[in-house]
Structure 1
């Protein structure tokens, strides 16, 4: 569903919150954004979203609620489906690339489970435009971090995802 900003500003509170929860499943964030309406323009919405997210992310329960809105990338079959048609423009076609891709997907599934086991929440990353190998590299780079660092990293990635979803909701993407 794509809305104009005027339509979004005029939604009932209940419907606005429901639309916002599609962008980010933090109920505190969604309620605060809905209460901050009307917005003069899309940039004002994003600025408010960023400011409210800065407040919301100080509470771990709010973060975990937002993270729970993402599916866990842990199933090799679902990873294969996700990346089946993804092509990195810099990649060179080589024999055995399909086998390498399966290895990457299996490593990504294992890494995601290792991440969940270590931190207690799923690996959150702004995945748009990233290949499976890039995702794996990011996951492996973040896995040695402590939990506080990863909460902050995941919160920053969540905000990028939320901004993209707001853009899509309002037809700006």
Structure 2
């Protein structure tokens, strides 16, 4: 959030506008945050949100209720780590830590991604905001030995963090 003197009222206004959005518009906005229709429906059903914390609590509750199929829907909206979606400002911002990285490290990241995807059947998902390519590669290697159930719960937590950041941006956060 900015240090602007009206930042709190701006966030409150953004929250009120979001809560008052027509159902179809809200569904579209929330689908930009997370591509799981079940998540978007659960968050929308929790409105009106009394404050930022209530919106983030709706995210936590929605994430906790997602099935494996719903998690797959949510992951489908994310680019591979090391390959942000070209022209997608959100993807590029979230994966800023890979910009300017040497080719050898990117190659290692791509190889590790391929092995992870072959094992788990989905992209490696991590809240990449503020992480370097090297730390993402280390996390990928650390998580690779997990079983599918353990990894699904870690993915759920990472998606929640990503959604928290994206919801914050809807409320005017610039970080």
Which TM bucket (shorter chain)? 0.7 to 0.9
Q: Following the alignment from structure 1 to structure 2, what is the Cα–Cα distance between the partners of residues 82 and 45?
A: 28
Alpha carbon RMSD of aligned pairs, Å? 2.4
Conserved in 2, the CA contact under 8 Å of 1:125 and 1:154? yes
CA shift digits 1:94-147 (9 cap, x unpaired): xxxx7xx32111100111111101000100001111111111000011111111
Which residue does the alignment assign to 1:95?
none
Deviations, residues 44-100 of structure 1 (Å, cap 9, x unaligned): 1111211121112xx110110001110123659x89986235xxxxxxxxxxxx7xx
User: Who is 1:43 aligned against?
Assistant: 53
Query: Normalising to structure 1: TM-score of the pair?
Result: 0.82
Q: Which has the larger radius of gyration?
A: 1
Aligned ranges 1:24-173 → 2 under 5 Å: 24-56=34-66, 59-73=67-81, 83-85=98-100, 101-173=102-174
**Contact 2:64 2:156 (8 Å CA) reproduced:** no
Could you list the runs of 5+ residues in structure 2 that have no partner in the other structure? 1-10, 87-91
Q: Quick check: 1:39–1:45 contact (8 Å CA) kept in 2? A: yes
**Structure 1: any 5+ residue segments left out of the alignment?**
86-97
Distance in 2, Cα, partners of 1:33 & 1:11: 13
